[in-house]
Amino acid sequence: MPSSVIAYMTYDPGAHRLRVHFLSGAIYDYIDVPEEVYLQMKSSKSKGIFLNRKIKGKYAFDKIN
């Protein structure tokens, strides 16, 4: 999963939470993200662009670190 901004991401299907670990060290949990959105992000060519267009501003989040 090479990305210029995202180190890696995980998804909790029971809680519908997408956790994104950024290369900067920041960690965010995006809340109530449908699994199909996670799967689309996982298969997208650019994870950062997908995050900016389809997740940020559309789902609530918690900053973990």
Q: What is the pLDDT of residues 37-51, one digit of tens each?
A: 999 999 999 999 999
Q: Is residue 56 part of a domain?
A: yes
Q: Is residue 1 part of a domain?
A: no
Contacts of 56 (CB under 8 A, 6+ apart): none
54 Cβ neighbours under 8 A, 6+ residues apart: 37, 40, 41
Residue 35 lies in a domain: yes
Domains: count for the chain: 1
Domain that holds residue 38: 6-63
pLDDT at 17: 98
Q: Is residue 12 part of a domain?
A: yes
- Split at pLDDT 50, 70, 90, the class of 3 is confident
pTM, rounded to two decimals: 0.91
